[in-house]
Structure 1
Amino acid sequence: MSYRIPLSFPVFEGNEKTYTEKAIASGNLATYGAFINKFEHKLSKKTKTHQAVAINSGTSALHLAMILLGIGPGDEVICQSFTFCASANPIVYLGAKPIFVDSETDTWNISPEILEDAILSRIAAGKKPKAIVLVHLFGMPAKINEILNVANKYHIPILEDAAEAVGSQYQGNACGTFGTIGIYSFNGNKIITSGGGGAIVSNNTKIIQKAAHLSTQAREDLPYYQHLEIGFNYKMNNLAAAIGLAQLEQLDDLVSKRRKINNIYRELFSKVPGISFQDEDKLSRSNYWLTTIIIDEETTGLKNDRIRLLLLEKGIETRFLWKPLHLQPIFKDVPFYGGDFAQNMFETGLCLPSSSNLTFDQQEEIVELIEREISKTYR
């Protein structure tokens, strides 16, 4: 469906055309070419990690990262429940078992307290978790210090799912760089895009070298094709990297624009009762990839779906917050630790249009439509 005002639409205002034309002219369009190297170097420099490996999707990056952490059949991996299914699906790809944990109220990310309870419970059951998948939801940094303390206490590595948090920071450092391995997504709706793509980052050189090797079918460095282990066709192609590099050059500006959009929404909603936002603490700087709101039905008289349908009639795209994974039919038998926080967020929240080129007039229209609908309920 084509929307008059989409949820999150890519904006190409840099060197995208120039770089893609150069990539095409080079004849290197597949998993070899100068733009792949340039993109990886620029990303590692931007995130201040030793190295980065460009991958063809965020999900592929998660899958490969789990392989690098040694996750396999019979293992258990703790994963935030309040997230997109790609955070957990690769666990199942590998024959391992996800263990879902609820979020906390401040950042909406995995609760450090419930995380520790889950770890102790699994250890008591004779199954120490092999890894923890930490997500930065909608670009909001999680409580990293507290979570790292728990993970280090029990010697469990963290896989940092920063798919939505490219450009977000915690204590001045890039999200994605705190865990043993971090991953990013550059899907078409993300804050920067390569059309489709992702990346693995780490300060462990051996991990990065192994990721690069496995992502290109684990081909040995010989004048013929020889493989000593199973590899994957996960490498980002040169054409996508050309787009990604041009977008990465604009990251700081795009983060500033999304943060400004979030601030304008807050100002416009300031006099509308029953609307609240996801807030950052003093240690965090969110990219605000998507601006999200919580609708208090008791105050507004409206459910989130009513607002969604109202805006849909006007050609405006919104989206529910992620349906918690422990409520997904495919994961109905998976252990879950926590309460009803994530479920409440799903039932009351909404993602608002947040494209970097969203205009003030469009934001004003969105807020006015919602405000008018709220006022109708009290006539």
Structure 2
Amino acid sequence: MGDRIFLSSPHMSDEGYEMQYVKDAFDTNWIAPLGENVNQFENELATKVGSKDAAALSSGTAAIHMALRAAGVVEGDIVFCPTLTFSATANPIIYQNAIPVFIDSDYETWNMCPKALEKAFEKYPNVKAVLVVHLYGLSADMDKIMELCKRHKVILIEDAAESLGTYYKGKHTGTFGEYGIFSFNGNKIITTSSGGMLVSNDEERISKVKFWSTQSRDQARHYQHSELGFNYRMSNVVAGIGRGQLKVLDKRVKKKNYIFEFYKKELGELEGVNFMPSNEWNEPNYWLSSLTLSGRVRPIDVMDALEKENIESRPVWKPMHLQPFFKKYDFIGIDVSERLFENGICLPSDTKMTDDDLFRVVEVIKGLWSK
């Protein structure tokens, strides 16, 4: 059995950019709270994606929570959310005591289906916000989704946790809605170990988010709080890692694309194998190379065979409306997300993988078809 091949693990730069910024934090004793790394990470990421302002926070989940608050979502409000996503997308809706309504996917994007979204607007005309996800680095069909949000005068929030470096029609995902969020969790395309970022062109609301996320501490000599606060700000050390990682984002996107094309070339001719969709308007970061299986070989067969060879893989996300906690909430759609979950698998997409590692993965998978 060879060394462990991970699905997607942290990958620090060969140049040591991260340690330079972390050392600066130590040398100046700006460990926490905040500091120059935080300020510059916000500026550099906002510039990179083309947004006016950004707030560095403790996680992508915190960023979604703050986006919902900034959007004015309160108790009893309805928020449309894709069902095919990680629970971190939906959980902050509950934090606000709001009501999620889950929207089905389409096969063309694996993301929120515009037709299902339109039906949701017909059923719930008083919805407060739409929270769209760019799954596995594939952009949603943003023109159609934005048109619906504009027509119904509803705020759009983008969960771009998995899609930093992805473009939709030449523009970064996360910058189409009123608010966009990114995640720097350990498995993301760049990482700060933990952490997230909220971006927006509304600089006044970003300023408010920074206030809320530092415990809503009023400007007074004593500790005074006129609003509910949260301990959500990113530390100066963590932000230093992020500044170094941002320098290699383009390299990581290039490697993720290489991994996807390698799998597509080696596995694309196998019976029943269909890779996640590509569209002419989409430039994915291919965070995780994912496919569906429709023949005799099932995803569990592939995952079990890979695990026996010390290779990590994962099912496609289980839809939220099938989750025990969320099953009481409404679902709009048919069964596309369920089919993707039942038939989908995410292959190892670690940017440290060598060609030998990739061949090792595909040989295990091909072996299942030769039996």
**Structures share fold, TM-score greater than 0.5:** yes
Which of 345, 350, 353 pairs up with 1:355? Answer: 350
Residues 1:245 and 2:243 are matched in the alignment: yes
Q: Secondary structure at the match of 2:292?
A: strand
Partner of 1:227: 225
State how far apart, in whole Å, the 2-side matches of 1:90 and 1:238 are: 25
**What is the 5 A alignment of 1:57-76?**
57-76=59-78
State how far apart, in whole Å, the 2-side matches of 1:341 and 1:83 are: 13
Residues 1:140 and 2:135 are matched in the alignment: no
Q: Secondary structure at the match of 2:124?
A: helix
Which of 323, 326, 349 pairs up with 2:318? Answer: 323
| Residues 24-33 or 303-312, more deviating | 24-33
Q: Secondary structure at the match of 2:26?
A: helix
1:313-343, CA deviations, whole angstroms, 9 ceiling, x for partnerless residues?
1110000000000000111111101111100
Q: Secondary structure at the match of 1:282?
A: coil
**What is the 5 A alignment of 1:155-304?**
155-297=153-295, 301-304=296-299
Q: Secondary structure at the match of 1:40?
A: helix
Aligned partner of 1:90: which letter?
Answer: P
Whether the 8 Å CA contact 2:105–2:336 is kept in 1: the answer is: yes
Partner of 1:311: 306
Whether the 8 Å CA contact 2:268–2:275 is kept in 1: the answer is: no
Aligned partner of 1:302: which letter?
Answer: V
Residues 1:12 and 2:12 are matched in the alignment: yes
Q: Structure 2 unaligned segments of length 5 or more: list them.
A: none
Residues 1:94 and 2:96 are matched in the alignment: yes
User: 1:101 Cα deviation (Å)?
Assistant: 0.7
Partner of 1:112: 114
State how far apart, in whole Å, the 1-side matches of 2:47 and 2:219 are: 27
Aligned partner of 2:104: which letter?
Answer: D
User: 1:67 Cα deviation (Å)?
Assistant: 0.8
User: 1:279 Cα deviation (Å)?
Assistant: 2.2
Whether the 8 Å CA contact 1:7–1:354 is kept in 2: the answer is: yes
User: 1:226 Cα deviation (Å)?
Assistant: 2.1
1:38-77, CA deviations, whole angstroms, 9 ceiling, x for partnerless residues?
1001001101111111000000111111111111111111
State how far apart, in whole Å, the 2-side matches of 1:343 and 1:279 are: 17
Aligned partner of 2:276: which letter?
Answer: Q
| Residues 257-266 or 22-31, more deviating | 22-31
1:16-44, CA deviations, whole angstroms, 9 ceiling, x for partnerless residues?
12221221222111232110011001001
Whether the 8 Å CA contact 1:141–1:286 is kept in 2: the answer is: yes
State, as a whole percentage, how many aligned pairs show the same letter: 40
State how far apart, in whole Å, the 1-side matches of 2:203 and 2:53 are: 7
State how far apart, in whole Å, the 2-side matches of 1:148 and 1:166 are: 19
State how far apart, in whole Å, the 2-side matches of 1:199 and 1:341 are: 30
User: 1:3 Cα deviation (Å)?
Assistant: 7.0
Q: Secondary structure at the match of 1:330?
A: coil
1:109-159, CA deviations, whole angstroms, 9 ceiling, x for partnerless residues?
001111010111113xxxx11100100000100000000001111111111
Whether the 8 Å CA contact 1:183–1:199 is kept in 2: the answer is: yes
User: 1:270 Cα deviation (Å)?
Assistant: 3.0
Q: Secondary structure at the match of 1:18?
A: helix
1:56-113, CA deviations, whole angstroms, 9 ceiling, x for partnerless residues?
0000111111111111111111100000011111111111110001011111000111
Q: Secondary structure at the match of 2:189?
A: coil
State how far apart, in whole Å, the 2-side matches of 1:284 and 1:174 are: 10
Aligned partner of 1:173: which letter?
Answer: K
Aligned partner of 2:5: which letter?
Answer: I
Partner of 2:36: 34
Which TM-score applies when normalising by structure 2? 0.97
Aligned partner of 1:32: which letter?
Answer: L
Aligned partner of 1:80: which letter?
Answer: P
Q: Secondary structure at the match of 2:314?
A: coil
1:133-187, CA deviations, whole angstroms, 9 ceiling, x for partnerless residues?
1000001000000000011111111111001011111111110000011111000
State how far apart, in whole Å, the 2-side matches of 1:3 and 1:369 are: 15
State how far apart, in whole Å, the 2-side matches of 1:270 and 1:352 are: 13
Which TM-score applies when normalising by structure 1? 0.95
Pairwise CA RMSD = 1.2
User: 1:224 Cα deviation (Å)?
Assistant: 3.2
Q: Structure 1 unaligned segments of length 5 or more: list them.
A: none
Which of 312, 328, 335 pairs up with 1:333? Answer: 328
Aligned partner of 2:112: which letter?
Answer: I
Which of 20, 23, 47 pairs up with 1:21? Answer: 23
State how far apart, in whole Å, the 1-side matches of 2:3 and 2:276 are: 25
User: 1:221 Cα deviation (Å)?
Assistant: 2.9
Residues 3 and 196 of structure 1: CA distance in aligned 2, closer, same or farther (over 3 Å): farther
Partner of 1:81: 83
State how far apart, in whole Å, the 2-side matches of 1:17 and 1:209 are: 29
Whether the 8 Å CA contact 1:3–1:317 is kept in 2: the answer is: no
User: 1:269 Cα deviation (Å)?
Assistant: 1.1
